[in-house]
Amino acid sequence: MRRRRAPWLGGQFPGPPSPTIDAKLVGGAALFGLGWGLGGYCPGPAVVALVSGVPAVAVFVGAMIVGMMIGERARGGDDS
């Protein structure tokens, strides 16, 4: 199997992630785990569960989206 040199829709493949384990990584992982544990949903299945109509799922997904927006602003956004 040949590896692609570029994505089908243009641009470039991202480089490898940083191997550095720092306070931001540990803190982010802890927040993710706390949200997952308290909410009872992993982000992907939570989005799929939205169709169930359970209000708690909508609250979890809404809080997850707000958290993602706060995280994006905290790191300075995506300038690509």
pLDDT in tens, 52-63: 999 999 999 999
Name the token pair of 54. Answer: 């359970």
Percent of the chain topping pLDDT 90: 26
Among 8-17, 20-29, 71-80, the range scoring the smallest mean pLDDT is: 71-80
| 80 pLDDT more than 60 | no
Which residues, including other chains, have CB under 8 Å from residue 39's CB and lie 6 or more apart?
46, 60, 63, 64
pTM over 0.75: no
At 18-38, the pLDDT tens digits run: 889 999 889 988 988 888 888
